[in-house]
Structure 1
Amino acid sequence: MAQRAGSADLPLHGGRVPKWLGERMTKLGAVITEAVVHHYGRDELLRRLAHPFWFQSFGAVMGMDWHSSGITTSVLGALKRGLTPLSSELGLHVCGGRGSHSRKTPGELVAIGDRVGFDGGALATASRLVAKVDSAVQDGFDLYLHGFIVTDDGKWVVVQQGMNGDKRQARRYHWLSEGLESFVNSPHTAIEGRSQGNIINLADRRAERSRTGQLDLLATLGPDRILREAAALALDIAKPAPQPDQPLLPHLIMPAHHDVREKDVNMKRLHGNLAAAADRGPEDFEQLLLVPGVGARTVQALAMVAEVVHGAPCRFSDPARFSLAHGGKDRHPFPVPLKIYDETIKVMKSAVQKGRLGREEELQALKRLDDQPRQLERYVTGPDLKEIVAGEFRNSPDWGGRSVFGWEEEDSP
């Protein structure tokens, strides 16, 4: 049976991803995906995409709003744009999307199946069933996004999202084909979102008798009599009986505030990232990578990208920390430093391209950059978050700082 990974609160955010950021997210998302597949394989990539904490951190390291529902749309869009040209090489295919694009998913799966050899019709049915089941989870969230990522051997992950406009909340649903035995008995790997009171989840394994009973009622009474009986019951409804508690799962709380605060970040891990960049940078990035123009600030960003590639699940309980790699499009925690972002992409592309040819030195340097923080964070200290963010703002004009509000100027606060 597929494992549940947890839940989270996701505030709804409006707006669009600007072109200058979307293009970079496409490049960085693709090269991070290539690195994960190179080191750990396609199955592991699917497991990570089905993990809500990793997914949120993945979006944050790419410069999206670190806490919002917009990460879902932007990450899936970036992966679809970035991985489509690499689909033959990686054996990965991204289907679906938001709105009308979600309804094209079955046709895309059939076409890809005809091309690469898996049963596209069966996966098209799976896509429809996933959407139907999450629609049956009567939690007040209307589905508006459906992303289906499938490998050449027919394994898949689905990430889809619903919104509750009245409550300004979103809920993200994760599915993974690995270990899936049934579409109607607790199939989710994760459901993200704020608890909104009692939820009628007909996809829960404990609802099997309810599903069977509903079908029996429909067959014996018919819809008209059922409606009359329901109306009569509504007049005499008592206090609902207490429901059995759901199993305790990891719960990631995405706060409503836009700014990144110290309580949102595991500071020991952040100080470990910074110390690792200072420690490994001079040795690895001058003697091994030899990429002109790569400075200390780029190495700090690369330390967080390396953790997204290599980190264990427990490392992603504070997605806000990963926004300190490349900032955020809304200027939180600071404007996106485009020069640093472009250097990060350049280094990652160089490492992955050489890794394809069997030259692993640069990929191994990045791996060491991920190993080091866990050794250092036990005892290193550093500046508080306000100091770190203030330094980013001071340097923002020199680093090509940009947000949806425009370029950063020398006299910016």
Structure 2
Amino acid sequence: MAQRTGSADLPLHNGRVPPWLGQRMASLGAVICQAIVHHYGRDEFLRRLAHPFWFQSFGAVMGMDWHSSGITTSVIGALKRGLAPLGHELGIHVCGGRGKHSRRTPEELMSLGERIGFDGGALTRASKLVAKVDSAAVQDGFDLYLHGFFVTDDGRWTVVQQGMNGDKHQARRYHWHSGDIIDFVDAPHSAIEGPAQGEIVNLTDKRAAGSRAAQLDLLAGLGPDGVADQYAALVARQEMQPMLPHLVMPAHHDVRSSDVFVRRLHGTLAAAAQCGPTDFPELLLTPGVGARTVQSLAMVAEVVHGAPYRFRDPARFSLAHGGKDRHPFPVPIKVYDETIRVLKYAVQKAKLGREEELGAIRRLDEQARRLERTAEGPSLDAFVAGERAASPSYGGRSVFGWETDPASGPKVGSK
């Protein structure tokens, strides 16, 4: 049975993903999904989406603001666009989204059910129950505004939905996974992610079984003494519950050393330097781009292959492709496009039975984990400074425009 496994603070951010980044997020998200499904199966991809730390890291490696609530909207939107042409091949479909798109979820599920053959009515009921539980049974001060429903051809699903507290400029994300659910109103969450906002009334918690029963008794005429007894019992149960892991996504935009496990960064850099020339010789023939792209591929490889504990510092994955707001550095367009190209090439070869390219990417991840015990490298500040200095040569871009080389004037480009 699923239980709440942790929480996190997510600053509420406004703004939109620019088209030049949204298109690339859709491409990268889709090919990462293909790689995960190829290695581990589509059920594993659903389980990854139901893990709040992995989900945040997934968004960060795609160039979104590494710490913000906007990752939820952008990741769901990117996957909905990127996986749509692959639905028949992968058997994974994305319904819902933000605002009016969330209200179309039942219609989309029924249409998929008619086309594919699963019970669209049952899944529609599940979707509505998930939304109702997180909006009514979990009273935490957050109003739901986003509902993403990921479903496979055999009817397994993951839901990622998010609520907002406008007064406190905070968001809370909720994760559900069908493989773990026995009872919709008895501890069904894979995780609840969001800010610590005082007391939360969570009537789906295992500890609230007594409360749910007491409320039924109240309807049957339970008196004040009965209410007082039930309240005392709930307080006692809460005091016995151990603390759950809590991921704090800070309000500051810049990536700081305290946000990153630097030894893992050093392992990634060392693996890219050692494995790149051996496993990616053709890529490294691209002047000024290849070696840097191997570093990004190593971080993407960890998103594909890493164990859950590897994602405790989502900020580290923003070091692959930067961020649209220039934090930690502008998005290196040339590197981003090379990453997508190499991953697509590797996946296409794997479909034909040639595993060498995908195997090389997997070895990057394995080598990085081995080397992080002993590797040394630059400080985080020095690494970020180097990326910012090299940004014009990498095609650096942000919502503020293209990066320019002070010596050569404004950059001209269309990507």
Q: TM-score range by the shorter chain?
A: over 0.9
Query: Which residue of structure 1 lines up, in the alignment, with residue 359 of structure 2?
Result: 364
Q: For 1:246 and 1:206, how far apart are their aligned partners in 2? A: 8
Query: Which residue of structure 2 lines up, in the alignment, with residue 297 of structure 1?
Result: 292
Q: Provide the TM-score with structure 2 as the length reference.
A: 0.92
CA shift, 1:215, in A, is 3.3
Report the CA distance shift for 1:395/1:194 in structure 2 as closer, same or farther (over 3 A).
same
Query: Which residue of structure 2 lines up, in the alignment, with residue 130 of structure 1?
Result: 130
Query: Which residue of structure 2 lines up, in the alignment, with residue 16 of structure 1?
Result: 16
Query: Which residue of structure 1 lines up, in the alignment, with residue 270 of structure 2?
Result: 275
Q: For 2:301 and 2:206, how far apart are their aligned partners in 1? A: 38
Query: Which residue of structure 1 lines up, in the alignment, with residue 89 of structure 2?
Result: 89
Q: Alignment partner for residue 376 of structure 1, among 371, 378, 384?
A: 371
CA contact (8 A) 1:59 1:66 kept: yes
Do residues 324 (structure 1) and 325 (structure 2) align?
no
Q: For 1:280 and 1:356, how far apart are their aligned partners in 2? A: 24
What letter is aligned with 2:118? F
- 2:125 is paired with a residue whose SS is helix
CA shift, 1:139, in A, is 0.5
Query: Which residue of structure 1 lines up, in the alignment, with residue 410 of structure 2?
Result: none
CA contact (8 A) 2:164 2:170 kept: yes
Do residues 315 (structure 1) and 310 (structure 2) align?
yes
Query: Which residue of structure 1 lines up, in the alignment, with residue 76 of structure 2?
Result: 76
What letter is aligned with 2:169? R
Unmatched runs of 5 consecutive residues or more in structure 2: 408-415
- Figure out how many residues of one structure are paired with residues of the other and give that number: 398
Q: For 2:239 and 2:196, how far apart are their aligned partners in 1? A: 15
What is the CA RMSD across the aligned residues, in angstroms?
2.0
- 1:178 is paired with a residue whose SS is helix
Q: For 1:386 and 1:195, how far apart are their aligned partners in 2? A: 29
Q: For 2:123 and 2:240, how far apart are their aligned partners in 1? A: 33
Q: Deviations over 1:345-401 (max 9, x none)?
A: 000000001111111110000010110011111111111011111111111111110
Q: For 1:20 and 1:346, how far apart are their aligned partners in 2? A: 16
Q: For 1:23 and 1:245, how far apart are their aligned partners in 2? A: 48
What are the equivalent positions in structure 2 for 1:125-204 lying under 5 Å apart? Answer: 125-135=125-135, 136-204=137-205
Query: Which residue of structure 1 lines up, in the alignment, with residue 412 of structure 2?
Result: none
Report the CA distance shift for 1:37/1:3 in structure 2 as closer, same or farther (over 3 A).
farther
CA contact (8 A) 1:114 1:120 kept: yes
CA shift, 1:245, in A, is 5.2
What are the equivalent positions in structure 2 for 1:58-73 lying under 5 Å apart? Answer: 58-73=58-73
Q: For 2:259 and 2:128, how far apart are their aligned partners in 1? A: 37
What letter is aligned with 1:143? L
What letter is aligned with 1:404? V
- 1:244 is paired with a residue whose SS is helix
CA shift, 1:290, in A, is 7.6
CA shift, 1:295, in A, is 1.2
CA shift, 1:213, in A, is 2.9
Of 247-256 and 163-172, more deviation after overlay is shown by 247-256
CA shift, 1:195, in A, is 1.5
Q: For 2:47 and 2:5, how far apart are their aligned partners in 1? A: 10
Report the CA distance shift for 1:82/1:6 in structure 2 as closer, same or farther (over 3 A).
same
Report the CA distance shift for 1:151/1:303 in structure 2 as closer, same or farther (over 3 A).
same
Query: Which residue of structure 2 lines up, in the alignment, with residue 341 of structure 1?
Result: 336
Query: Which residue of structure 2 lines up, in the alignment, with residue 2 of structure 1?
Result: 2
What letter is aligned with 1:181? I
Report the CA distance shift for 1:339/1:204 in structure 2 as closer, same or farther (over 3 A).
same
What letter is aligned with 1:162? G
- 2:172 is paired with a residue whose SS is strand
Q: For 2:212 and 2:309, how far apart are their aligned partners in 1? A: 36
- 2:304 is paired with a residue whose SS is helix
Q: Deviations over 1:96-141 (max 9, x none)?
A: 0001111111111111111111111000000000000001211001
Q: Deviations over 1:147-190 (max 9, x none)?
A: 00000011000000001111111100000011210000010000
Of 240-249 and 253-262, more deviation after overlay is shown by 240-249
Query: Which residue of structure 2 lines up, in the alignment, with residue 411 of structure 1?
Result: 406
CA contact (8 A) 2:284 2:291 kept: no
- 2:394 is paired with a residue whose SS is coil
- 2:32 is paired with a residue whose SS is helix
Report the CA distance shift for 1:291/1:410 in structure 2 as closer, same or farther (over 3 A).
closer
Q: For 1:180 and 1:300, how far apart are their aligned partners in 2? A: 38
- 1:286 is paired with a residue whose SS is coil
Segments ≥4 residues shifted beyond 6 Å: none
- 2:239 is paired with a residue whose SS is coil
Q: For 1:291 and 1:326, how far apart are their aligned partners in 2? A: 20
What letter is aligned with 2:190? T
Unmatched runs of 5 consecutive residues or more in structure 1: none
- 1:398 is paired with a residue whose SS is helix
CA contact (8 A) 2:277 2:284 kept: no
Q: Percent identity?
A: 73
- 1:9 is paired with a residue whose SS is strand
CA contact (8 A) 2:94 2:150 kept: yes
Q: For 1:32 and 1:371, how far apart are their aligned partners in 2? A: 17
